[in-house]
Homo-oligomer: A and B are copies of this chain.
Amino acid sequence: MPARNSTYHGRRVMITGGLGFIGSNLARALVDLGADVLLVDSLIPDYGGNLFNVEGFESRLRINVADVRQSSTMNYLVRDREIIFNLAGQVSHIDSMRDPDTDLEINCRAQLTLLEACRRHNPAAKVIYAGTRQVYGKPVSLPVDERHLVRPTDINGINKAAGEYYHLVYDSVFGVRACSLRLTNVYGPRQLVKHNRQGFIGWFIRLAVEGREIQIYGDGSQLRDFVYVDDVVDAFLLAGTSDAVNGEVFNVGGSEPTSLRDLVQMLIQCAGSGSVTFVEWPAEKKAIDIGSFYSDSTKFRSTTDWAPRVDLREGLRRTVEYYRAHLPHYLEDAS
């Protein structure tokens, strides 16, 4: 663990969505660094929050079950927090197209609620927002850097873009230091694998672990950059202690583009189980597909000294190992 992270010792941090995939991995790292960690999570079924994600850490952190949309609660909770990792969100693209209003509530309104809480009750807070590559939509050129147009192809991408812009405006106008990390395809332990509406990679890993058939839409030639969750945790830790990131957006992605076909082949090798088949695109998913995508994280690398360290094969190996040991905890309801 780099020396820089000693700066977290005794720091009062908050993680919204703290029982979710990235939030819980970040929480565990922060606890180990000696931070005073408050997790806020609504535990909405199917969203990814899972108490098992902090198993063994319960006595070393504080969990407050609450909905980030609830302003009086947030006004109270933010008061003494120095650094807020803002990861709460509705992350299913398909759900956002079926029920756009709920996506709006969580990805727009809740962000405003949190930022207003900081503006009114803790303007000295620093906020790191979990953005998404989805805001770019279908890329016009590759790799995609931060100068690429924002042109989301689905409601979730739009609302995540608005949530991100709010952070930038609260930074520039109200002095609440804030930035956004636009994450690409993150994978690893503690990801929701109960259903396939939060992206394909967790779902594929579950299928491989269970020895089932993985369906790839189309020919699997579309490229993505995958980033292991520990590298993303490291990115949040670095952003949380840097003031050079304030008011800025950064891509945080994997080292090299990989086709879905190659990903699945590697996954099946790592797992020693599972199989693959290629099927036609379902119309509902094809309509919001973006083709190949991979990002350029140079801006974040040069602003901090971040670099991804876990390559895809090693990351998949660790992830498969995790779910082999713990899969039943990820097939139950969040409670």
User: Nearest Cβ distance between residue A165 and chain B, in whole angstroms?
Assistant: 4
Instruction: Report how far A152 CA is from B154 CA in the complex, Å.
Output: 20
List the B side residues contacting A186 at CB < 8 Å: none
Known A104-B112, A116-B100; judge A158-B149 contact (CB<8 A). Answer: no
Q: Which of B104, B147, B149, B150 contacts A108 (CB 8 A)?
A: B104
B173 touches A97 (CB 8 A): yes
Instruction: Report how far A159 CA is from B112 CA in the complex, Å.
Output: 11
Q: Does A61 contact B (CB under 8 A)?
A: no
List the B side residues contacting A151 at CB < 8 Å: 165, 168
Q: Does A288 contact B (CB under 8 A)?
A: yes
Q: Does A276 contact B (CB under 8 A)?
A: no
List the B side residues contacting A149 at CB < 8 Å: 147, 149-150
Q: Does A31 contact B (CB under 8 A)?
A: no
B153 touches A158 (CB 8 A): no
B100 touches A112 (CB 8 A): yes
**Interface residues of chain A: helix, strand, loop or mixed (majority):** helix
Q: Which residue of B lies closest to A155 (CB)?
A: B169
Known A100-B112, A101-B112, A149-B147; judge A173-B154 contact (CB<8 A). Answer: yes
Instruction: Report how far A172 CA is from B290 CA in the complex, Å.
Output: 12
Q: Does A162 contact B (CB under 8 A)?
A: yes
A169 touches B154 (CB 8 A): yes
User: Nearest Cβ distance between residue A228 and chain B, in whole angstroms?
Assistant: 30
Instruction: Report how far A201 CA is from B153 CA in the complex, Å.
Output: 35
Q: Does A166 contact B (CB under 8 A)?
A: yes
* Binary contact readout A50-69 vs B (1 if CB under 8 angstroms, 0 otherwise): 00000000000000000000
List the B side residues contacting A159 at CB < 8 Å: 162
User: Nearest Cβ distance between residue A263 and chain B, in whole angstroms?
Assistant: 26
Instruction: Report how far A100 CA is from B110 CA in the complex, Å.
Output: 12
* Binary contact readout A90-132 vs B (1 if CB under 8 angstroms, 0 otherwise): 0000000100110010001100100010000000000000000
B150 touches A158 (CB 8 A): no
User: Nearest Cβ distance between residue A153 and chain B, in whole angstroms?
Assistant: 7
* B-contacting residues, A280-303, CB 8 Å: 287-288
Instruction: Report how far A155 CA is from B288 CA in the complex, Å.
Output: 27
User: Nearest Cβ distance between residue A116 and chain B, in whole angstroms?
Assistant: 7
Which of A109, A155, A169 is packed against the most chain B CB atoms within 10 Å? A169
User: Nearest Cβ distance between residue A251 and chain B, in whole angstroms?
Assistant: 14
List the B side residues contacting A109 at CB < 8 Å: 101, 104
* Binary contact readout A160-202 vs B (1 if CB under 8 angstroms, 0 otherwise): 0110011011001100000000000000000000000000000
Q: Which 8 pairs between the two chains have the least Cβ-Cβ distance?
A: A158-B165, A162-B162, A173-B287, A100-B112, A150-B150, A158-B162, A152-B165, A108-B108
